[in-house]
Amino acid sequence: MNEASLPGELGCQFTTDDGEVLLIAMGNVGSSDAAQGVVKVAGYVERVSAPGGFNGITESPTFSGKGKTVHIEVTGEPTEGGESPPRPATLTYDRADGAQRDWQGEWRCGP
C-alpha cells in the first residue's frame, strides 16, 4: 500500500491494533480538492476520497469509493506527544451490499 502515489502535502493513516495499515490518505492544507486515499480490505487495495483536502480528513472523516464508504471515528485523546500523535480510532467499512466491518486501531495525521 505504501507504493500508492497519492497527491497531497500531508497525510493520515489508520493502523490496526495489530499493526496492519488499512487506510492511507493524502491532501493539501487549505484546499477544497478532495483528499485521495487507498483502503486495503480482504487483500484488495481500492481508491477512496474525502472532501476538504487535508483539513477535511484529520477529525473523523468519511471516505467514499466505488461500492464502499469508509468512516474513521476518532475515539479518544492522543496517546503520545509530538507534532503528529496517534489517536485511538475505529475504522468502519460499509459495502454497497450492506456488509459492514469494524477495526480498532489508531488514526495518525501529519507530515
Digit-coded pLDDT (tens) for 41-70: 888 899 999 999 999 999 999 999 999 999
Q: How far apart are CA 46 and CA 74, in angstroms?
A: 22
- Write out the three cell numbers for 87: 489517536
Instruction: Kindly indicate the confidence band of residue 11, based on its pLDDT and cuts at 50, 70 and 90.
Output: very high
| Residue of 13, 45, 6, 1 lying closest to 27 (CA atoms) | 6
Q: What is the mean pLDDT of residues 70-82?
A: 92
Q: Residue 83: its pLDDT value, please?
A: 82
The cell 480482504 sits on which residue? Answer: 42
> Most distant CA pair in the chain: distance in Å?
41
Higher pLDDT, 4 or 9: 9
pTM of the model: 0.92
